[in-house]
Amino acid sequence: MLDENLRRGAKPLYKPVATALVRAGATGNILTGSGLGIGILCLAAIAAGLNVLGLFLWLLNRLLDGLDGEVARLRGEDSELGAFFDIVADFFMYGGFLVALAVQHPGSRLALVVLFLAYYLNGSVFLALSGILERLKRKRLTERGFHFRRSLTEGFETIVAGVLFLVFPTHVSLIAGLFAAMVFTSAAQRLRDGRRLLERAG
């Protein structure tokens, strides 16, 4: 819901960092790969119950996820390939985070499975709509590699949910249930948005 506003507001802060990384020889794909490696360590830490370490690695992973696209744009790299790697890494982290939580909190597995289903549905609607809009040659609303349509839960809200899971480990089921409701709402918003756009296109 807040991704684009935050992205525009924070750009003056992270663009100098991205510029410095470009000068140091970093590429968007290197940052995506580095972020994924850090993300795997994050998931292992969460599964082991090391939530403080997991929190630090989660935020570092998300920071690199925000920087890789800007670095790629500054270098004039193949945005399609970078977008492909980036979305795969994102989905791995989102799903893997829930699996790691399920290992740490066996009693919360049902709530986490429901949230996993919400992620699956929302991600499927997002990717299907993005692919169709790309085929119809619709203009992207953002500079990112996919057609991102506004919804209740986006990247920022998922970061916040991850932080809440790790800071309040005794409330994992409650957080998962509430966030699942929000993600299902996002899927419904995207379904409605997609139906409206495609009916007009037809």
| pTM for this predicted structure | 0.88
pLDDT of residue 10: 64
- How many domains does the structure of the chain reveal? 1
CA distance 147 to 19: 25
pLDDT of residue 5: 63
Range of the domain at 155: 3-201
Q: Spell out, as residue ranges, where the chain has pLDDT lower than 70.
A: 1-12, 78-79, 137-150, 201-202
Beta-carbon count within 10 A of 110 CB: 12
Q: How far is CA 35 from CA 28, 39, 104, in A?
A: 10, 6, 22
H-state helical runs in the chain: 3-23, 28-47, 51-75, 79-104, 109-135, 155-167, 172-201
Look up the CATH number of the domain holding residue 134. Answer: 1.20.120.1760
pLDDT of residue 93: 97
List pLDDT tens digits, range 65-101: 989 888 888 887 766 788 888 889 999 999 999 999 9
The dihedrals phi and psi of 112, each to the nearest 5 degrees, come to -70, -35
